[in-house]
């Protein structure tokens, strides 16, 4: 999710991380060893550093005492008793792909990078567990782009952007799989951001457009199950529509929200539990 915090640590990461490719097939992941060492890699934005929580982490650090979901999951994985190495690639303010970056620039916004180009290439070849949370910043940029650039058909504009986002998401998965073919990948879908506190005072038309985009992006995440990606279903958990689980900005989770993120993600990440996301929950229809 979005935050303008961005430091020279990104440049250091890009300069120092080797980009070795893997020879495994991206289409036939075997999954991690159930008993061997864990190499947990987080792909995300400011959510990955726990922005909005009571213990925000510096980018690209392990941050063992952080209160974000990535840091909670790291501690949960350590609790299994297995050796763990952690790499947090999350870039505050990042979006999924160059296409969303370009749209952001078109509407007068700046983002510090994207997952496909700035995070996917740095997943290590020995990664065993990968989480991906994309779409929060993208929802805001696509919905704003639709309002500014969509003319008489903002929904059609938004839908086209969502389709491209789905293509780019598949590209990210392909890049991760080509580098770490045996990694278990867990993607978190989005809550319906039309129901988040940061847009509570906006007109219903704006909330409906944000809802449309968030659901569209969630559907693209949910479709990854056909590729063997496990999905944590944030969209349909009622707790993520409670203002008390958000930070003061109404957009980022607070401590409670991040605990819900981790609770929903852990069974898939730790155990490979495969619960299909709900495609018809009431949270998908908060607005007309």
Strands 84-88 and 184-188: unpaired
What pLDDT is recorded for position 29?
54
What pLDDT is recorded for position 104?
98
What pLDDT is recorded for position 17?
38
Domains of the chain, by residue range, sit at 43-285
Q: What is the CATH number of domain 43-285?
A: 3.40.50.1110
What pLDDT is recorded for position 30?
63
What pLDDT is recorded for position 201?
98
What's the average pLDDT block by block, 10 residues per block, for the chain (288 residues)? 41 38 43 92 98 98 97 98 98 98 97 98 98 98 98 98 98 98 98 98 98 98 98 98 98 98 98 96 98
- Residue given tokens 């749209």 in the structure block: 103
Angle made by CA atoms 1, 71, 269, in degrees to the nearest 5: 90
3-class SS letters over 79-146: CCCCCEEEEECCCCCCECCHHHHHHHHHCCCCCCCEHHHHCHHHCCCCCCEEEEECCHHHHHHHHHHH
**Token reading at 137:** 């910043």
What pLDDT is recorded for position 23?
34
pLDDT in tens, 58-68: 999 999 999 99
What pTM value is reported for the model?
Answer: 0.90
pLDDT in tens, 27-60: 445 689 888 999 999 999 999 999 999 999 999 9
């Amino acid at each position: 999710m979005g935050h303008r915090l961005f430091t020279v640590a990104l440049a250091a990461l890009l300069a120092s991380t080797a980009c070795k490719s893997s020879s495994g097939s991206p289409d036939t992941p075997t999954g991690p060893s159930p008993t061997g060492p864990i190499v947990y890699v987080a792909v995300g934005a400011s959510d990955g550093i726990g922005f909005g929580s009571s213990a925000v982490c510096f980018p690209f650090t392990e941050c063992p005492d952080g209160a974000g979901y990535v840091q909670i999951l790291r501690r949960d994985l350590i609790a299994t008793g297995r050796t763990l190495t952690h790499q947090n690639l999350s870039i505050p303010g990042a979006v999924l792909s160059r296409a969303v970056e370009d749209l952001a620039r078109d509407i007068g916004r700046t983002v510090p990078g994207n997952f496909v180009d700035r995070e996917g290439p740095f997943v290590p070849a020995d990664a065993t567990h990968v989480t991906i949370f994309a779409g929060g910043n993208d929802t805001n940029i696509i919905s704003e782009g639709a309002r500014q650039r969509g003319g008489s058909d903002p929904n059609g504009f938004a839908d086209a952007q969502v389709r491209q986002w789905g293509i780019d998401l598949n590209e990210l998965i392909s890049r991760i799989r080509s580098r770490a073919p045996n990694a278990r990948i867990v993607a978190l879908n989005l809550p319906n951001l039309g129901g988040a506190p940061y847009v509570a005072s906006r007109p219903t038309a704006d909330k409906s457009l944000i809802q449309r985009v968030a659901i569209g992006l969630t559907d693209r995440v949910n479709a990854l199950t056909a590729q063997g990606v496990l999905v944590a279903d944030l969209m349909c958990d009622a707790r993520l529509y409670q203002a008390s689980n958000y930070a003061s900005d109404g957009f980022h989770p607070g401590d409670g929200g991040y605990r819900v993120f981790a609770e929903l993600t852990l069974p898939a990440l730790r155990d490979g539990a495969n619960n299909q996301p709900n495609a018809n929950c009431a949270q998908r229809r908060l607005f007309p």
